[in-house]
Amino acid sequence: MIINEIQDEIIEEFSVFNDWMDKYSLLIEMGNLLPPLEEKYRTKSNLIEGCQSRVWLQSDFENGKVIFQGESDAVIVKGIMALLIRVLSAHTPQEILQADLYFIKKIGLTHHLSPARSNGLLSMLKQMKMYALACNNCEIKANQKPKPI
């Protein structure tokens, strides 16, 4: 499924609710559905800087696609992480880097998150794009032919 189709699904799921308390409940439910991150990935190097709560993000590069796993000790932040993983995981680095994540604004997250959570969202997104950039650079190098001497 392409990134924009996933975003449109999320927008539709959130559009059912008018009240933000219901939307927060949906966000928490999505976070609860996120598989727990294995203990071996809960390392300092996987902690995302800039988040008020503790957020871990694990990235793997498999068959040309970036696979994300994440965890947070805060329920709403975990829901935000679940949304980002749902949209960006299992896509190529180039798809992730070029993604316009319009769903964030369309479902109202930009207006209904506290400044600390908004900063956390931006930090998570930045880290995911940095992983994609690193994977993209590795993929480019792997596909380059050695230059003759």
Q: Residue by residue, what is the 3-state secondary structure of 77-100?
A: HHHHHHHHHHHHCCECHHHHHHCC
Distance CA 131, CA 19 (A): 35
Tell me whether strands 55-62 and 65-72 are parallel, antiparallel or unpaired: antiparallel
Which of 51, 74, 84, 85 does the annotation list as catalytic?
A: 51
What is the end-to-end Cα distance of the chain in Å, rounded?
44
Those residues whose C-beta lies under 8 Å from the C-beta of residue 75, and which sit 6 or more positions away, are: 28, 31, 32
51 assigned to active site: yes
How many CB atoms neighbour CB 142 within 10 A? 7
Distance CA 9, CA 149 (A): 52
Residues annotated catalytic, as ranges: 51
